[in-house]
Amino acid sequence: MNPDVDLSVVIPAYNEERRLAHTLARVAGHLRTTPLSWEVVVVDDGSADGTAAVAAGEPGVRVLRLPANHGKGRAVREGVLATTGRQVLVCDADLATPIEDLDGLRAALADGADAAVGSRAVPGARIEARQPWPRELAGVLANVLIRLLVVPGVADTQCGFKLFDGDRARAVFRTGRVAGWGADAEILHAFLARGWRVREVPVRWSHRRDSKVRAHQYLVTLGEVLLIPLRGAVAVRDAGVAAGFLLLSFLLYAHLWADPWNRYLTDGGQDQNQWEWFFAVTAHNLTNLDGLLFTTLQNHPDGVNLMANTAMLGLSVPLAPLTLTLGPSITWAVVLTFGLAATGAAWYALFLRHLTRSWQAAAVGALVCAFAPPVVSHANAHPNLVVLFVIPLIIGRLLLLAGRAHVTRDGLVLGLLISYQVYLGEEALLLAATGLAVFAAAYTMVCPDTARAALRPLAAGLALAATTGLALTGPALVFQFAGPQSYASLIHGPAGNDVRALVEHAGRSLAGDAGVAASLSMNLTEQNAFFGWPLLILTCGIVIWLRRRAVVLALAAVIAGSALLSLGPEIVFYGWRTGIPGPWLVMSRLPLFESVVESRFTMVCVPAIGALLAIAADHALAAARALPRTPVRVLLCLALTQALLPLAPTPIAAADRAPAPAFFAGGVWREHVRPGRSLVTAPPPDAADATPLRWQVAAGLGFPLVEGYFAGPYGPERQGVYGAPPRATSGLLREVRDTGRVPRVTAEHRASARADLAFWRADAVVLGPHDRQAALHATLTALLGPGRQVAGVWVWNVRAIVQPSTAPGLS
């Protein structure tokens, strides 16, 4: 770069002999009124007229002649690469946008943008002479496709008036491949892919009657645009990062993928059986045109409110063909593996576009977001807290709203994203919203002027998003909270983190102690902290180092606030109940929050820590480029290794599980259960043992089960609990299962059994393979008389002893 040139102007020209002199005179005349040092480069793209001679006759103009006509994209690329200025303006030879509008573009670069795009589609733009309506319609459709496929967030990529940072422009144009009109989209796509900031600036624009754009070129441009995402080192690099996340995810689930049809994640308790049932029942309901929000296939006859459970309709519905073809076990493995990888890729894209200039820094931050200890803990059993790829998309759309460019469009898209997240997992959305509220409050305190400027577009966009979201989710949410089998709040008891849990390592991490981690958590799927001392020290150091950046202070507030909420209603310090109330004591009484497991608020810390690491790595890499002889890169690698390597997870444990008995898998059950009647397993499924749900799936969901493993109401206040309110018979059978002791069965027990079987509308009681089978068999024989051994199970036909018309509680 020549430090003496402030601005280089590139004008591509093809057969522009008649109007080029006027354009150059206007450009030079305006630039002479500015204090800038400048140059003008005209690229003659193989013209057949006197274009080159006209350009050569203007003082201060350099002419590049291409031997043949290659297209506007090639001409602009050759011109930009020949420039030397600190900034590069590319404008069309017809000067459809007046050169005087350059000031607005320069202001955008001065405000931090790397590229300022003259736009006819943002508020403030003025169209002084319109195109014919067919051409205008074609342009609108082309811009919509370009935004969807290549340049999200930029409404007008084709206006021929763009200003770039000179060094970045030359770096990007050097990699360009598109020779035609699609080059504009290619260059802006490359800027965004590198995380560089692109801003649209309203300009004046007038259609020129002798425009060189012909109708067929819209189709040619569309073809060029479709190939852009598949080209170039940036696309390969980003695809490589995404592939890396997918590989790590497969390694994490290696034991499951060894035989996904017959393996079970052992640390997840009974959750895999429950989730596979959710996937199967959604596919079943779609196939049979039943409602997606309710079923009586579990907890017969009362049923289950699927919207009030984690049925994850946002994935179980589109993946129903996979479930029907290969089974819910494959769907389970695919959702966990690909969902985790997609989450990492989404955080990477967000960081690269809005937070860092280095892809390596963005990848480091995204790696933490996808594979931090709390996330890996939930990866044993909770897809709704692992498949989080929509959350970064929501945050990205909020940032675009704050940029004030396209409030209506961004508000609508935000509403769509929030609606989709509702159908993926509402708890994750609530946690994210809480973290974003803390971030917004902290950022407002640090940068009130910036926050004030963003308030109006954010408020308008959020209002539009809320309207869109209510339209798309309102009926489902009403059903969730007021429909059959809805509940008020989910009871889980105090579940705060011990302070020690924040600094220890997870049980299945490289540096973890399984015993220590178990003593500090509810179970293996709820190890919701365990960041380790090295990472927390590094995080604090980053905050101190970069404390002048408002975003760093706001992220620090999110980490501190979320960690404090995760400690629960009373602060516990290394096992000592301090008696000090935590802020959760108040917050837990708010609507919606009463159902949240408070230790999960450390999940909010995860992306905030990932963002801080990305920012710090970006700064360090920039320093390394500026000071190549210093060991900055080595120090960065050492710090990250020290903090992150101890957290690396070992593959999630999985084991073989017994196949479903032939009674279920072979269809023998049809001889014992009539349509509309239920089957009672001994004992009925619950949170302690949900194996019968798998048997029911193996039977094609051909019969309903009584009770089950789900969230539903209990008692007159309809408090949420896991499972159905126990009846006398199911309680008796569970006591035998848990103790192995055969009780003395009385006439009262038999009367209760008749009443319960009538309420359940049961045709058969089935005892499948079980560790306590002998005790359960003896108890059932005393209750119901002798059973029959059929196809690997014991069966009691109870049709004869059930009298539904006189049974108490029959509905």
pLDDT tens digits for range 508-531: 899 999 999 999 999 999 999 999
pLDDT in tens, 483-506: 999 998 887 777 899 999 999 999
Give the separation between CA 578 and CA 521, rounded to whole angstroms.
18
Q: Where are the alpha helices (DSSP H) in 627-711?
A: 632-644, 662-665, 691-698
- pLDDT at residue 629, rounded to an integer: 72
Distance in angstroms between the alpha carbons of the first and the last residue of the chain: 84
The dihedral over CA atoms of 509, 515, 521, 522, expressed in degrees to the nearest 10, equals 120
pLDDT, tens only, 597-653: 999 999 999 999 999 999 999 999 888 877 777 787 888 889 999 999 999 999 999
Q: Is the pLDDT of residue 428 over 90?
A: yes
pLDDT of 425 > 60? The answer is: yes
DSSP letters for 274-336: HHHHHHHHHHHHHHTT--SSEESSSSTTT-EEGGGTT--HHHHTTTHHHHHHH-HHHHHHHHH
More confident residue, 434 or 155: 434
Mean pLDDT of 389-404: 92
Q: How far is CA 251 from the centre of its chain?
A: 21
Q: What is the pLDDT of residues 628-642, one digit of tens each?
A: 777 878 888 899 999
pLDDT attached to residue 3? 59
Q: Token match 């695809």: residue?
A: 239
For the four alpha carbons of 11, 17, 19 and 21, in that order, the dihedral sign comes to positive
Percent of the chain with pLDDT over 90: 72
Strand order in the sheet with 788-790: 678-681, 762-767, 793-797, 788-790
The helix, strand and coil proportions of the chain, stated in percent and rounded to the nearest 5, come to 55, 10, 35
**pLDDT class for 2, splitting at 50, 70, 90?**
low
When pLDDT is averaged across residues 764-786 and rounded to a whole number, the result is: 96
Average pLDDT over residues 223-250: 77
Q: What is the mean pLDDT of the chain?
A: 90
Q: How far apart are CA 96 and CA 545, in angstroms?
A: 48
Q: Is the pLDDT reported for residue 468 higher than 90?
A: yes
Give the mean pLDDT of 284-303.
95
Nearest to 603 by CA among 413, 379, 395: 379
Omega of the bond leading into 716 within 30 degrees of 0 (cis)? no
**Kind of pairing between the strands at 204-206 and 126-129:** parallel
3-class secondary-structure state, position 204: strand
Can you tell me the distance from the alpha carbon of 200 to that of 650, in angstroms, rounded to the nearest whole number? 46
**44 strand-pairing partners:** 13, 65
Higher per-residue pLDDT: 121 or 469:
469
What kind and span of H or E run contains 668?
none
Distance CA 223, CA 219 (A): 6
Whether the model clears a pTM of 0.85, i.e. scores above it, the answer is: no
Which residues lie across from 714 on neighbouring strands? Answer: 719
Give phi and psi for 576, each to the nearest 5: -95, 120
With a cut of 60, say whether residue 232 has pLDDT above it: no
pLDDT tops 70 at residue 211: no
Are 61 and 98 contacting, i.e. CB atoms less than 8 angstroms apart? Answer: no
Within 13 Å and on the Cβ side, how many CA atoms surround 187? 32
d(CA 113, CA 164): 9
Q: Over pLDDT 70: what percentage of the chain?
A: 92
Distance CA 808, CA 811 (A): 9
State the pairing for strand pair 87-91/7-13.
parallel
CA-closest candidate to residue 260, choices 321, 337, 312, 317: 337
> Of residues 68 and 434, which shows the higher confidence score?
434
Query: For the residues 778-803, what does the mean pLDDT come to?
Result: 91
Cα 175 from Cα 165, distance rounded (Å): 16
Model confidence at 807, pLDDT cuts 50, 70, 90, reads very low
Query: Which of the four pLDDT bands, split at 50, 70 and 90, describes residue 406?
Result: confident
Query: Would you state the pLDDT for residue 154?
Result: 82
- Are 75 and 14 within 8 A, CB to CB? yes
What's the CA gap between 278 and 293, in Å, rounded? 11
Contact at 8 Å (CB) between 243 and 320?
Answer: no
Note the pLDDT tens digit of each residue in 131-160. Answer: 666 656 666 666 666 666 667 778 888 788
Residue 810 confidence (pLDDT) above 50: no
Q: Locate all alpha helices (DSSP H) within 423-447, ordered by sequence.
A: 426-446
Q: What is the mean pLDDT of residues 367-387?
A: 97
Mean of the pLDDT values across residues 412-439? 97
Residue 580 phi/psi, 5° resolution?
-85, 120
Average pLDDT (756-784) is 96
The DSSP code for 203 is -
- The DSSP code sequence of 127-177 is EEEPPPHHHHHHHHHHHHHHHHHT-TT-S-S--SEEEEEHHHHHHHHTT--
Among 21-25, 185-189, 278-282, 512-516, which stretch is predicted with the lowest mean pLDDT? 185-189
The span from the CA of 505 to the CA of 515, in Å, is 11
**607, burial (CB in 10 Å: exposed 0-12, middle 13-18, buried 19+):** buried
Burial 736-768 (b: 16+ CB within 10 A, else e): bbeeeebeebeeebbebbbbbbbbbbbbbbbbb
CA dihedral 102, 108, 113, 118 (to 10 degrees): -50
What CA–CA distance (Å, rounded) separates 593 from 430?
8
- In this model, does residue 750 exceed pLDDT 80? yes
